[in-house]
Amino acid sequence: MDSLTNHKINSIAHNKTWLFVPATRIDRVEKAFVSGADAVIVDLEDAVAKQDKAAARDALKNYYDEQNSKQTYQPIWLRINQAGSEEFFKDTVLCQEMPNLAGVLLAKAERAEDIESVYQLTGLPVIALIESAVGLYQIDSMAKAVGLVAFSYGFLDLYNDLQVQVGTPSADLIANQIRYQFIVVSKVHKLAPPIDTIYPDFNNEVGLRARVQLWSQMGMSGMLCIHPKQVASVQQALQPTDKALEFAKRVIEEYERSGQAVFEIDGEMVDAPVIERCRQLLNQWQIKE
């Protein structure tokens, strides 16, 4: 794994909110950053009709050049079209003309060779979006691809391909199995933890918060967002409770004071795994022990 990819893996693991902006609405990019999103993704794929893709690329390049001339450019991620598609090569040429992009999301990823092709053509780190049964079946081989930093998935396309009925208990079972596969493969191959898919009902804050708690407790790193107001909801849902933080601080303080491998706090046995979990929590939220 090269140093660029390794650096990006470490950095994107801290991104909790990934906000999509259609490439046809470049005026929304600055608003997306103002929302507080950790990463902004300009979408050249599903959000742009075929007849509008050329104009969307031109608009994005104009935005990039203008921001660079002002020295105010904030690196964006770009979702490009599926490898082998008519628009794929045009998208990668555009990436070559914008060397300060943060990275690329490859839509409908299915082969390690396609990920490596994107990386070789652009020099940018790649997030593979899994949106088909073939892609899901191939994630272990794709995880070895040079340039790959993380997996995410598009649940609607994937469910359609698997013939799973959206909004049912069965769909929830399948979704968790998919998450589990991504988590294990990503860990084994030293990728960033996977990024969860979108939550389509952006007016349902209760449902969104429940989803955030689910994927974060499973060990995923972040979530794709489709509306700016989802950003704050995700960030708030991820905040640890005061009780959890206080317990973690007491555990680390006692461990450093006593040097004991096993001890008790508030009637709970504390050993090495608990100590490590508390340390991770405090480090994640940058709280001094």
Residues 185 and 266 in one domain: no
Q: Which of 37, 53, 52, 8 is nearest to 226 (CA)?
A: 37
Q: Does a structural domain hold residue 138?
A: yes
Residues 22 and 129 in one domain: yes
* pLDDT number for residue 10: 75
Q: Tens digits of per-residue pLDDT, 141-193?
A: 999 999 999 999 999 999 999 999 999 999 999 999 999 999 999 999 999 99
Question: Which is more confidently placed, 8 or 71?
Answer: 71
Q: Tens digits of per-residue pLDDT, 235-285?
A: 999 988 888 888 999 999 999 999 998 999 988 999 998 999 889 888 877
CATH code assigned at 58: 3.20.20.60
Residues 184 and 276 in one domain: no
Residues 225 and 280 in one domain: no
* pLDDT number for residue 233: 94
Residues 246 and 232 in one domain: no
Residues 112 and 249 in one domain: no
* pLDDT number for residue 105: 98
Residues 140 and 277 in one domain: no
Q: State yes or no: pLDDT of 75 exceeds 80.
A: yes
Q: Tens digits of per-residue pLDDT, 26-62?
A: 999 999 999 999 999 999 999 999 999 999 999 999 9
Residues 233 and 259 in one domain: no
Residues 273 and 218 in one domain: no
Q: State yes or no: pLDDT of 287 exceeds 50.
A: no
pLDDT-derived band at 288, boundaries 50, 70, 90: very low
Q: Does a structural domain hold residue 266?
A: yes
Residues 227 and 250 in one domain: no
Residues 250 and 232 in one domain: no
Q: Does a structural domain hold residue 274?
A: yes
Q: Does a structural domain hold residue 35?
A: yes
Q: Does a structural domain hold residue 289?
A: no
Q: Does a structural domain hold residue 230?
A: yes
User: Average model confidence (pLDDT) for the chain?
Assistant: 92
Q: Does a structural domain hold residue 117?
A: yes
* pLDDT number for residue 90: 97
Radius of gyration for the alpha carbons in the chain, expressed in angstroms and rounded: 20
Q: Does a structural domain hold residue 224?
A: yes
Range of the domain at 133: 3-238
Whether pTM exceeds 0.85: yes
* pLDDT number for residue 245: 87
* pLDDT number for residue 133: 97
Residues 167 and 274 in one domain: no
Stretch 64-75: mean pLDDT:
90
Number of domains, the chain: 2
C-alpha 73/C-alpha 71 separation (Å) is: 6
